[in-house]
Amino acid sequence: MREAAMNSSTALSLFVIFLFCAAVQSYSKWSVTYTSKTVCAIKGSTVKFYCTYSHPHKEDDITINVEKTFWFTKTNKDPVDLKTQEEYAGRVQYQRTRNRCTLIIEDLKESDSALYKFRFITNKIGGSYTGEPGVQLYVSDPYLTVKKKSYSTQLECSSWCPLPPRSTYVWYKNGKTMNTLTSIYSGPYSYADSMACAVKGHEDFPSPLFCLGYCYNVTYSKRRICAFKGSSVTIGSFYSESYAKSAFWFSPGRSEEWRDPLNPENLIEDSQYAGRVDVTYTTRQSNLTITNLSESDSAEYRFKFQTHRFEWGSDLHGTTLTVTALQVQVTKTSALQDTTYAELKCHSSCTPAVYHYIWFKNGQNLGHTESTYKVPINTTDKISCAISEHEEYRAPEVYAPVSPFVSVNSSGDISEGKPATLRCRSQANPPAYYTWYKKTKTSALQRVSEDSQLFLSSIQLSDSGDYCCVAKNQLGESQSKYLNVDVKYAPKRANVSQSHREVVEGISVNLTCSSDGNPAPNYSWYKDNQMMLQGQQGVYQLTSVRSEDSGIYHCQAENQYGLIRSSSVHINVEYSPRLPSVSVNPPGEIAVGGSVNLTCSSVANPAATYTWYKESTTSPAASGQMFTIEAIRREHGGNYYCQARNIRGHHNSTLYLIVVLSSATPAVAGSITFIFLFGLFFSAFIIFRKRMASRQTTETRERPGVIWTNHSGVSLPLH
Ligand SMILES: *[C@@H]1O[C@H](CO)[C@@H](O)[C@H](O)[C@H]1NC(C)=O
Ligand SMILES: *[C@@H]1O[C@H](CO)[C@@H](O)[C@H](O)[C@H]1NC(C)=O
Ligand SMILES: *[C@@H]1O[C@H](CO)[C@@H](O)[C@H](O)[C@H]1NC(C)=O
Ligand SMILES: *[C@@H]1O[C@H](CO)[C@@H](O)[C@H](O)[C@H]1NC(C)=O
Ligand SMILES: *[C@@H]1O[C@H](CO)[C@@H](O)[C@H](O)[C@H]1NC(C)=O
Ligand SMILES: *[C@@H]1O[C@H](CO)[C@@H](O)[C@H](O)[C@H]1NC(C)=O
Ligand SMILES: *[C@@H]1O[C@H](CO)[C@@H](O)[C@H](O)[C@H]1NC(C)=O
Ligand SMILES: *[C@@H]1O[C@H](CO)[C@@H](O)[C@H](O)[C@H]1NC(C)=O
Ligand SMILES: *[C@@H]1O[C@H](CO)[C@@H](O)[C@H](O)[C@H]1NC(C)=O
């Protein structure tokens, strides 16, 4: 209180004197002068420290210039600029105009309570200067008191630590909020009323109750209680009415569960606390006990009572319970030779500093009692900590990730175009972070994701491969097994190839259908678009091909994901000419001077070429399919045959006899032929008659002048 008063009243005058002195000295001395030596501020507010500094203009013939100024705290060996310190990040500002220096710290925390000093560095070697003694900052809760102003009925709310300007106040009468918002309360109140005040935003730190006479009141044995998760806690309150009509505990945080949010309900009836709450009463005291605490029980608890004529309001702050679990924090790891050291901290959101700690490695007490610990670890070690006498509330063990488990989630098969998710899970504390890698045939491990899940929205063929994930935390890392991703897909291409480029009758030919697809497709074969029965395989065998096998072939590759039709191949079976047939135009005997067309035709592939021969002459008589003999002379008579030829071979036709009628004795040749034939026929008839005496069938077909022969080997004499 006295300190605060001094701060406010003398600060200004001191500041003026310092300014004056600084001006008089005209930067002749190395100095830093602080406006205040001690500053108090409440949590969450903003504080400003002021100072001035000076230095000689010139020293050792060097003109001195200030190069850097900063504020620092903590008496490290070397002063460290506050702005570079993590715990002040974003909360610190410097203001410097000429030789004045200002430090602003926002959103104050209790841990900011420290000694702050200003330092400036000049161009002169060793020309750094820190002003002593610095400013001591105390950051606290707003400890308030209510007192009656002298010679007045007004009440005043004051704090030992100066409150931020324009603070708003909250006044309570018998636990109920009043309308006054200033530090002065002008009533009404009576000798029987319990008064209290608080600063808006800090209602959890109200002043103690103030009473002029005999007052009903509720006070709590503790403002804040910290308890371990799973443990039990008892919150006590004192109250001053033995004939209460009703008295119960409630938690304002549960107001949403109440029938009327303004009308508190007994905690005993709250389902969240069912079976875990016990309340005891004596005439002046009540205890609330909650067992098997969970973190969601962290809340504020208030007590309320009512008599026939009086009601204690529900607005004044009660006891804040924080349920905490110990936690081993890994601050740092470092490797020295083959050993890894972990710097650990046994952390709790509200652990009193005075406790001894117990550290466990794989369940063994390590005999270390500090809250921090630098310990050698390996990948299988599990480390935990506890507070002495509370060993049952140990922190969960910390350890490196153990063998990550990988799985794939896809709807059905992993097939092209479908989505799939690869998941990696590993037990680890602190929780692991994950990296997915992919191994392909060609390259080494390739990083594909920095998440525990690898999401493939539309699977591509190129996604096939072996995947693995690495789980890592500060204490180590572990690699999963490989997960093979085998992407299924419909055949994309198919083509037919043939074992022989030239297909000749009689050889064996294989047609091979090559296609992709996963799983391997089955095949069907088509000839001229007709499906063939044979050929489930990729190879279609034509053993000893025949001319009928010529055609256009294709195959179709199919698996359960789809099908594709291949390109087509044309199989052209080549063969040598078949027996040629000869036709003649005009048919019959030909008179001298007439003309005749002989036509030879033979089935062949490729098409045959034709050559005509007259029997018993070696040189060809003509070439070409049609042989025309014009201006027939007698010498033209005789046997003719044609030869059909292609690259695969040749074939001769049967003989064809051309009979030339002499114009003078047209019948002679015919009668000679007739007589001869008759003789031949007659002798055959006799032999026939002798063999088959009973039957007499004589049939003769005579065609004088022209004889068809059907055997190439037999030739008949002319004349
Ligand atoms: C609260 O009530 C008790 C009992 O009636 C009394 O002794 C005590 O002085 C009261 N406290 C205040 C602050 O009025
Ligand atoms: C409340 O708890 C305190 C401390 O544990 C104990 O001394 C007191 O007797 C308890 N009162 C009731 C009413 O249970
Ligand atoms: C304590 O509460 C947890 C859930 O928060 C429950 O699983 C456990 O069984 C409870 N223990 C006891 C002893 O009731
Ligand atoms: C890890 O260290 C523990 C003792 O702390 C030891 O028992 C264990 O064999 C070590 N394991 C390995 C893999 O080094
Ligand atoms: C697989 O993923 C789908 C969609 O993302 C999800 O609904 C389903 O629960 C997942 N299944 C498994 C076993 O993870
Ligand atoms: C047919 O497949 C073979 C082997 O896969 C390939 O070498 C060839 O180029 C393909 N032909 C066509 C026309 O696609
Ligand atoms: C045709 O395929 C069969 C079986 O694959 C093989 O035994 C044969 O030698 C092949 N024939 C030719 C002409 O390639
Ligand atoms: C070929 O595969 C498809 C798809 O898997 C199937 O429906 C069909 O029956 C198969 N054909 C044969 C002959 O196996
Ligand atoms: C023989 O063929 C040629 C050409 O086709 C034709 O002009 C001629 O009249 C034919 N000769 C006879 C006797 O049919």
Find out whether the beta carbon of 234 lies less than 6 Å from any atom of ligand 2.
Answer: yes
Find out whether the beta carbon of 537 lies less than 6 Å from any atom of ligand 7.
Answer: no
φ, ψ of residue 580 to 5 degrees: the values are -75, 150
Distance CA 677, CA 717 (A): 11
Query: Could you tell me the distance, in angstroms and rounded to a whole number, from the CA of residue 409 to the centre of ligand 5?
Result: 6
- Edge to edge, the sheet with strand 92-97 lists 31-34, 47-54, 100-105, 92-97
Find out whether the beta carbon of 510 lies less than 6 Å from any atom of ligand 7.
Answer: yes
Average pLDDT value for residue range 648-654: 94
Is it true that the peptide bond before 519 is cis, omega within 30 degrees of 0? yes
Nearest to 452 by CA among 473, 331, 411: 473
CA of 376: how far to CAs of 53, 335, 419, in Å?
48, 9, 44
Q: Strand, coil or helix: what is 517? A: coil
Model confidence at 690: pLDDT above 80: no
Structural domains of the chain ordered from first start: 26-140 (2.60.40.10), 217-324 (2.60.40.10), 325-399 (2.60.40.10), 405-485 (2.60.40.10), 494-574 (2.60.40.10), 581-660 (2.60.40.10), 672-718 (no CATH)
Tell me what the pLDDT averaged over the chain comes to.
84
Of residues 572 and 391, the one with the higher pLDDT is 572
Q: Which residues line ligand 3 (CB under 6 A)?
A: 292, 294
C-beta separation of 157 from 207 below 8 A = yes
Pick from 558, 560, 563, 564 the residue to mutate for probing ligand 8's pocket: most ligand atoms within 8 Å of its CB: 558
Average pLDDT value for residue range 292-319: 93
Measured CA angle at 268 (ends 267, 271), to 5 deg: 85
Ligand 9 atom 13, closest CA? 596
The continuous run of DSSP H or E covering 409 comes out as strand 399-410
- Proportion of the chain in helix, strand, coil states, percent, rounded to 5: 10, 45, 45
Q: Which amino acid is at 259?
A: R
**490-516, pLDDT tens digit by residue?**
999 999 999 999 999 999 999 999 999
Pick from 409, 421, 456, 458 the residue to mutate for probing ligand 5's pocket: most ligand atoms within 8 Å of its CB: 409
C-beta separation of 410 from 421 below 8 A = yes
Find out whether the beta carbon of 512 lies less than 6 Å from any atom of ligand 7.
Answer: no
Query: Could you tell me the distance, in angstroms and rounded to a whole number, from the CA of residue 214 to the centre of ligand 1?
Result: 7
Which pLDDT score, from 0 to 100, does residue 65 have?
A: 83
Beta strand 649-652 with 364-365 is: unpaired
Torsion (CA) 285, 286, 292, 297 in degrees, nearest 10:
-110
**427-438, pLDDT tens digit by residue?**
999 999 999 999
Ligand number nearest CA of 510 is 7
Q: Which residue has the tokens 């990040």?
A: 89
**227-250, pLDDT tens digit by residue?**
888 899 999 999 887 677 889 999
Average pLDDT value for residue range 27-54: 84
Q: Tell me whether residue 644 is exposed, middle or buried, using C-beta atoms within 10 angstroms of its C-beta: 0 to 12, 13 to 18, 19 or more.
A: buried
Pick from 240, 285, 286, 316 the residue to mutate for probing ligand 1's pocket: most ligand atoms within 8 Å of its CB: 240
Identify the band that residue 652 occupies on the pLDDT scale cut at 50, 70 and 90: very high
**Lowest-confidence region among 100-114, 384-398, 416-430, 682-696:** 682-696
**Lowest-confidence region among 541-545, 551-555, 665-669:** 665-669
Pick from 492, 495, 566 the residue to mutate for probing ligand 6's pocket: most ligand atoms within 8 Å of its CB: 495
Identify the band that residue 335 occupies on the pLDDT scale cut at 50, 70 and 90: confident
Query: Could you tell me the distance, in angstroms and rounded to a whole number, from the CA of residue 379 to the centre of ligand 4?
Result: 8
Instruction: List the end-to-end C-alpha distance of the chain, in Å, as a whole number.
Output: 164
Average pLDDT value for residue range 621-638: 91
Measured CA angle at 86 (ends 85, 87), to 5 deg: 95
Distance CA 138, CA 380 (A): 45
Which pLDDT score, from 0 to 100, does residue 352 have?
A: 61
Ligand number nearest CA of 557 is 8
Q: Which residue has the tokens 């080494």?
A: 444
Find out whether the beta carbon of 272 lies less than 6 Å from any atom of ligand 1.
Answer: no
Which pLDDT score, from 0 to 100, does residue 498 have?
A: 93
Which pLDDT score, from 0 to 100, does residue 425 have?
A: 95
Query: Could you tell me the distance, in angstroms and rounded to a whole number, from the CA of residue 334 to the centre of ligand 4?
Result: 18
Of ligand 6's listed atoms, the one at least distance from the Cα of 493 is: 14
Ligand number nearest CA of 375 is 4
**Lowest-confidence region among 55-59, 183-187, 541-545:** 55-59
Average pLDDT value for residue range 72-95: 83
**Lowest-confidence region among 72-76, 568-572, 688-692:** 688-692
Q: Which residue has the tokens 């403002």?
A: 223
Beta strand 453-456 with 420-429 is: antiparallel
Number of H helices, E strands in the chain: 2, 59
Query: Could you tell me the distance, in angstroms and rounded to a whole number, from the CA of residue 2 to the centre of ligand 1?
Result: 29
**Lowest-confidence region among 54-58, 189-193, 480-484, 710-714:** 710-714
Ligand 6 atom 9, closest CA? 495
Identify the band that residue 570 occupies on the pLDDT scale cut at 50, 70 and 90: very high
CB-CB neighbours of 523 under 10 Å = 24
- Whole-model pTM: value is 0.61
Q: Which amino acid is at 318?
A: G
Torsion (CA) 661, 666, 669, 674 in degrees, nearest 10:
120
**Lowest-confidence region among 49-63, 140-154, 384-398, 571-585:** 49-63
Query: Could you tell me the distance, in angstroms and rounded to a whole number, from the CA of residue 292 to the centre of ligand 3?
Result: 6
Which pLDDT score, from 0 to 100, does residue 670 have?
A: 42
Per DSSP (E only), the strands in 488-608 are 494-498, 503-504, 509-515, 522-527, 530-531, 539-542, 551-559, 562-565, 569-571, 573-574, 581-585, 590-591, 596-601
Which pLDDT score, from 0 to 100, does residue 659 have?
A: 87
Which pLDDT score, from 0 to 100, does residue 58 have?
A: 78
Identify the band that residue 22 occupies on the pLDDT scale cut at 50, 70 and 90: very low
Model confidence at 372: pLDDT above 50: yes
Ligand number nearest CA of 418 is 5
CB-CB neighbours of 278 under 10 Å = 13
Q: Which amino acid is at 464?
A: S
Query: Could you tell me the distance, in angstroms and rounded to a whole number, from the CA of residue 282 to the centre of ligand 2?
Result: 9
Query: Could you tell me the distance, in angstroms and rounded to a whole number, from the CA of residue 234 to the centre of ligand 2?
Result: 8
Which pLDDT score, from 0 to 100, does residue 710 have?
A: 38
Which pLDDT score, from 0 to 100, does residue 202 have?
A: 87
CA 353 and chain centroid, separation: 43
C-beta separation of 712 from 654 below 8 A = yes
Q: Strand, coil or helix: what is 378? A: coil
Torsion (CA) 439, 445, 447, 450 in degrees, nearest 10:
90
Provide long-range contacts, Cβ within 8 A and 24+ apart, for 624-627: 625/599, 625/600, 625/601, 626/597, 626/598, 626/599, 626/600, 627/597, 627/598, 627/599, 627/600
Most confident of the ranges 117-121, 322-326, 571-575: 571-575
Which pLDDT score, from 0 to 100, does residue 534 have?
A: 62
Ligand 5 atom 11, closest CA? 409
Measured CA angle at 458 (ends 454, 462), to 5 deg: 80
For 489, which DSSP code? B
**Lowest-confidence region among 72-76, 118-122, 492-496, 703-707:** 703-707
Distance CA 216, CA 188 (A): 17
Q: Strand, coil or helix: what is 277? A: strand
Distance CA 663, CA 631 (A): 13
Nearest to 475 by CA among 326, 327, 328: 328
Measured CA angle at 394 (ends 391, 398), to 5 deg: 145
Q: Strand, coil or helix: what is 291? A: coil
Nearest to 448 by CA among 485, 402, 409, 396: 485
The continuous run of DSSP H or E covering 148 comes out as strand 144-148
Q: In this prediction, what percent of the chain has a pLDDT beyond 90?
A: 50
Which pLDDT score, from 0 to 100, does residue 16 have?
A: 47
C-beta separation of 221 from 233 below 8 A = no
Which pLDDT score, from 0 to 100, does residue 663 have?
A: 60
Find out whether the beta carbon of 581 lies less than 6 Å from any atom of ligand 1.
Answer: no
**105-125, pLDDT tens digit by residue?**
988 888 888 899 988 888 877
Of ligand 4's listed atoms, the one at least distance from the Cα of 361 is: 5
Of residues 77 and 410, the one with the higher pLDDT is 410
Of ligand 1's listed atoms, the one at least distance from the Cα of 210 is: 13
Average pLDDT value for residue range 138-148: 89
Q: Give residue 348's region: left, alpha or beta (phi > 0; psi -120 to 50).
A: beta
Distance CA 136, CA 35 (A): 12
Question: In the beta sheet, which residues pair with residue 302?
Answer: 250
Of ligand 7's listed atoms, the one at least distance from the Cα of 509 is: 13
Average pLDDT value for residue range 612-633: 92
Model confidence at 357: pLDDT above 80: yes
Ligand number nearest CA of 628 is 9
Find out whether the beta carbon of 586 lies less than 6 Å from any atom of ligand 9.
Answer: yes
Distance CA 20, CA 18 (A): 5
Q: Strand, coil or helix: what is 500? A: coil
Query: Could you tell me the distance, in angstroms and rounded to a whole number, from the CA of residue 420 to the centre of ligand 5?
Result: 9
DSSP string, 597-635: EEEEE---BSPPEEEEEETT--S-SEESSEEEE-S--GG
Question: In the beta sheet, which residues pair with residue 547?
Answer: none
Which pLDDT score, from 0 to 100, does residue 9 have?
A: 44
CB-CB neighbours of 435 under 10 Å = 21
